[in-house]
Amino acid sequence: MAHEHKVQIIASDAGGTMTDMMVVDTEGNFTIGKAATTPQDQSIGFWESLGDGLELWGIDLEKEAGNILPAIEAAVYSGTAMMNALITATGRKVGVITQRGDEDVFLHERSRQTWAGYPYQDILHHVTHRHNQPLVPRRLVKGVTGRIDMFTMEAIPLYEHEAAQAVEELLDEGVDAIAVCLLYSYMNPAHELKVKEIAEEVMEKRGRKAPVYLSHQLCPIMREMGRLNTLVLHAYAAEPGREQLFKIEDKLAAGGYKYPLQIVLAHGGLTNIRYPRLHEASFSGPIGGLMGAQYLAQVMGTGNWVCSDMGGTSFDVGLIMGGQPLMEREVVINRRVYNIPTLQMDTIGAGTGQFVTIDPITKRILIGPGSAGAEPGPVCYEMGNEVPTVMDCCLIMGILNPDNYLGGKKRLNKEKALNAIKEQCADVLGVDPYYVADGVYKLINSSMKEHIRAVLYSRGFSPADYQLLCYGGAGPMHVAGYAEGLPFKGIATMPWAAGFSSFGCAAVDINHRYQKSTGVLLPYGSEDDYKLMMGQLMLNTGWEELEKQAAADFAEEGLSWEDADVRQIAYVRYGGQMDDLEVVSPVSRINSAEDMDKLTNTFEEFYEKVYAGVAKHERAGFQIMELGLTATLPKVKPKLVKRPLEGTEPLKEAIKGEREVYYDGKWHRAIIYDMDRLRPGNEIDGIAVIEAPATTLFLPPGKHIRMDEWSLIWLT
C-alpha cells in the first residue's frame, strides 16, 4: 500500500441529513468523511461516508477494502433511524397483552404524558393538553385476568384460557410481534413467562411465528406507562432497526472486517448490535457529541462544558459537569415517556435545512418547523425542493462557498437559491433578498441563543461557570451569533466539528448498563438486623441478578467478563421524597449493617453537594426504589495530539483568497482561509471565513480566533 495510514477505528454518526464518518489510524490521527444519509438502506450512506473519509488519506475504498477492513479493530454506529420510525409512526404492527381492566392504557396514558414535550406556556394552560395518538390501536390491546401483588405473591391465578384467546385474536389481526406487560412482573415474572409459553403453543398449532417480548426481561422497572412504552418501542422500531444494522455489518464483513458492528447506547455506553435491549440505542444520535466532550474534559482537564450541536435538522444542547454528563432515567421523546437511561440533551428544531417562509397574514419571517432533510435538501442542491432554507440564505450571503461544499463533491447552485429567496420571501416583503437572508441568519441564531440560556438558567446554572463547545456541520457557521452576549468562560470549536459526534462514538468505552426496581425502606433508627436483612434480601439479590444478566451478555458478545470494571448502583432518596440520586455503592454487597451505613452516608455526602447541607433530612429515613449496575471494558480510542505553538500569523498557503460577504446590512471584503492549514498559535481577526471540507467557520467583524495546542479554535 502506498499510503502510510493503518486504519484502526471507524465510527459513524448517521443524522437526519448527513452521515459523518470518523476514521482513526493506529497513531491516533483521524479524518472525517461525509455522505448523505440513506434512510431506505443505511449501509449505503455508511459505506459512502467511509469511502469519503479514506479518500482524504489517498485511499480508494473500492480498490483497497480487502487491505483496510481486516485490520480494523472497531466499527461503531450511532444514528437516528429507530427514533425516526417512532416519530413518523412507521414501525411494525404490534399487539399488546396487559392486565384485564387495563386495556385502555394507551388512551388514558399517564397524566404527565398529556403535557410532556410542550413549551412552558402550553403546560400552564390545560386547554392545550391533548392525548397522543396511540402507536398500538385499542383493538390490538388484549387484557388477561391474573394478578401478582406488590409483595411478589400471586393474588389471582392467571386465567390461561384468556391468554390463549388473546394470542389467537392478535394473530387473526396479523400482528408482527406481541408485547406482554403485566403488573409487578419486575418483582415476580411467573405470569409473563406463562403467557409467553401459551403464546408459543398457540403459534405452534397455527403454524405461524411472531416474536413475543416480555417487559421484565427488557425493562424490569416500575412506572407502568414508561415500561409499556419502552416494550412497545422495542417491538415497534428497535427490532426492525436491527435489520438495517445487520446490512451494515454484512457489507463490512464482505470486505474482510472480522468483528461485530458496535452501536452507541443512549446512556453513553457501547455494545454490539446483537444486544437484547437494542431499544436503548434508539436515541443514540446526539449522544456521541456529549461523549466526545467528556473525552475532551478528561484529556484537557476542563470540567464544565455546554455542548451545542447544530446540523441540518435540529440544535441539541447538553451539559458536562465536573467531567460527567447529566443522566435521566426516564426520557420524553415525541411526547411519550420511556424508561430508558439517557444522557440529558435538550433539542429544538433549528438546522440549516429548515424552511424559510413568510406568514401570509402577519408578514413575519417563519423558520421551520419543516426541514428539507438530506432528500430533497435545500434549493441549492437542485434535487426537487423549491422552498428556501437557512442554508440557501448562508449561501447567497457569501458565507458558504458553492465550490467547496463537502470538499467540492457537491456543487451548490447559488443563483437558484437567490431566485427562490427573492420570489418567495423578499418580493412578498418588498425588500432586498440579501437583507432577508441576513435577517434569517440572525433570527435562527437568536432562537438557538435563547435555547442555551433556557437550558442553563432553568437548572439554576450560569454561563460564567462553563465553556461553550460548538460542533455539528453547521455549528461553526453560526456560533459567533448564538454565543453573542452569553458570558461563557470560553467558546471553542474544532476543525473536525462536522464529525465531532462520530469522534465521540470512537472515544467511547464498551459499557453496558442495567437497572431493576426494588423496594428498600429504612426508617430512621432502624435496627442493625433489619438493615442487614434489607440489604441481603433486596440489594444483594438484585445486584446478583443484574450481574448474571451482564455476564451472559458479555459472553454472548465474546467479551471478557473477568476484565470488566463492574460498579453497583443504588438510587437513594430520603423517605417520602419524589426524586432520588444515583449513588455508586462503596461496597459490592451488603454483608453487615455497617455496609448499609456506608451506602447511605455516600448518598448524604452527594446530596449535600447537589442541594445543600441544610436540605439533609436523615430523620425521614431512606428509600431505595431502584438499583443498577454498570460494566465497562476499555477499547482503542482516537488520540488528541498536543502540538507546539507556532507564530500568530497563519502561513501564506493557508490563505485561499477573498470574497464578498453580506453581513449586518452591508457587503464586506472577507479573507478566506483553509482551516486544515492553520497551525497551533495562529490568530485571525474578522471579518473572515475559515473553510474545511465538511464545515465552515464564519468570523463576523470584531471577532477574533486563536488555535490552541490541542487544535481547538477559541473565539473571542
pLDDT recorded at residue 120: 65
The answer, yes or no, to whether residue 2 has pLDDT greater than 60, is: no
pLDDT recorded at residue 71: 86
Task: Name the band, by pLDDT with cuts 50, 70 and 90, for residue 1.
Answer: very low
Highest mean pLDDT among 93-97, 148-152, 220-224, 358-362 belongs to: 93-97
**Helical packing angle, 42-55 and 239-254, nearest 10°:** 40
pLDDT recorded at residue 405: 82
| CB of 505 closer than 8 Å to CB of 286 | no
| CB of 365 closer than 8 Å to CB of 425 | yes
Task: Name the band, by pLDDT with cuts 50, 70 and 90, for residue 119.
Answer: low
Which of 3.30.420.40, 3.10.129.10, 3.40.50.300, 3.40.50.2000 would CATH assign to domain 287-350+444-506?
3.30.420.40
The mean per-residue pLDDT over the stretch 254-261 comes to 88
Cβ-in-10-Å burial (0-12, 13-18, 19+) of 388 comes to: buried
pLDDT recorded at residue 5: 79
Residue 668 CB-half CA count within 13 A: 20
The answer, yes or no, to whether residue 419 has pLDDT greater than 50, is: yes
Query: What does the alpha-carbon distance between residue 631 and residue 621 come to, in Å, rounded to a whole number?
Result: 30
pLDDT recorded at residue 141: 95
pLDDT recorded at residue 190: 95
| CB of 468 closer than 8 Å to CB of 488 | yes
The mean per-residue pLDDT over the stretch 164-174 comes to 95
Question: What is the β-pairing status of strands 141-144 and 94-99?
Answer: parallel
The answer, yes or no, to whether residue 469 has pLDDT greater than 60, is: yes
The answer, yes or no, to whether residue 383 has pLDDT greater than 80, is: yes
- Mean pLDDT computed over every residue of the chain: 88
pLDDT recorded at residue 634: 84
Determine how many CB atoms are found less than 10 A away from the CB of residue 31.
23
pLDDT recorded at residue 285: 67
pLDDT recorded at residue 504: 85
The answer, yes or no, to whether residue 147 has pLDDT greater than 90, is: yes
349/532: higher pLDDT: 532
The answer, yes or no, to whether residue 637 has pLDDT greater than 80, is: no
Q: Which of 241, 238, 257 is nearest to 249 (CA)?
A: 257
Task: Name the band, by pLDDT with cuts 50, 70 and 90, for residue 678.
Answer: very high
Query: What does the alpha-carbon distance between residue 78 and residue 83 come to, in Å, rounded to a whole number?
Result: 11
The answer, yes or no, to whether residue 374 has pLDDT greater than 70, is: no
Determine how many CB atoms are found less than 10 A away from the CB of residue 341.
23
Percent of residues, the chain, with pLDDT higher than 90: 46
| CB of 241 closer than 8 Å to CB of 82 | yes
119/245: higher pLDDT: 245
- Tens digit of pLDDT for each residue in 510-522? 888 899 988 899 9
The answer, yes or no, to whether residue 117 has pLDDT greater than 80, is: no
Q: Which of 609, 561, 562 is nearest to 582 (CA)?
A: 609
| CB of 393 closer than 8 Å to CB of 440 | yes
Q: Which grid cell sits at 342?
A: 439517557
- Tens digit of pLDDT for each residue in 52-62? 888 888 888 88
The mean per-residue pLDDT over the stretch 2-22 comes to 80
The mean per-residue pLDDT over the stretch 605-616 comes to 81
The mean per-residue pLDDT over the stretch 648-669 comes to 92
- Three-state DSSP at 407 gives helix
- Of the candidate ranges 178-182, 428-432, 548-552, 639-643, the one whose mean pLDDT is the lowest: 639-643
- Tens digit of pLDDT for each residue in 125-146? 778 788 888 889 999 999 999 9
The answer, yes or no, to whether residue 409 has pLDDT greater than 80, is: no
Q: Which grid cell sits at 31?
A: 479524518
pLDDT recorded at residue 437: 94
Task: Name the band, by pLDDT with cuts 50, 70 and 90, for residue 14.
Answer: confident
Give the full edge-to-edge strand order of the sheet including 262-264.
30-36, 18-25, 7-14, 74-79, 262-264, 270-272, 510-522, 622-633, 565-574, 581-584
The answer, yes or no, to whether residue 370 has pLDDT greater than 90, is: no
Could you identify the residue written with the cell 429548515?
A: 354
The mean per-residue pLDDT over the stretch 331-335 comes to 78
Give backbone dihedrals phi and psi of 3, rounded to 5 degrees, phi first. -85, 160
Question: Domain 7-85+241-281 is in which class?
Answer: alpha beta
- Tens digit of pLDDT for each residue in 320-332? 888 888 888 888 8
Say which residues have a Cβ less than 8 Å from residue 264's Cβ, sequence separation at least 6. 76, 77, 78, 270, 281, 284, 287, 288, 291, 505, 508
| CB of 264 closer than 8 Å to CB of 219 | no
- Of the candidate ranges 76-90, 310-324, 411-425, 599-613, the one whose mean pLDDT is the lowest: 76-90
- Tens digit of pLDDT for each residue in 556-603? 888 889 999 999 999 999 998 888 888 999 999 999 999 999 999 999
The mean per-residue pLDDT over the stretch 539-553 comes to 93
- Of the candidate ranges 38-47, 401-410, 544-553, 626-635, the one whose mean pLDDT is the lowest: 401-410
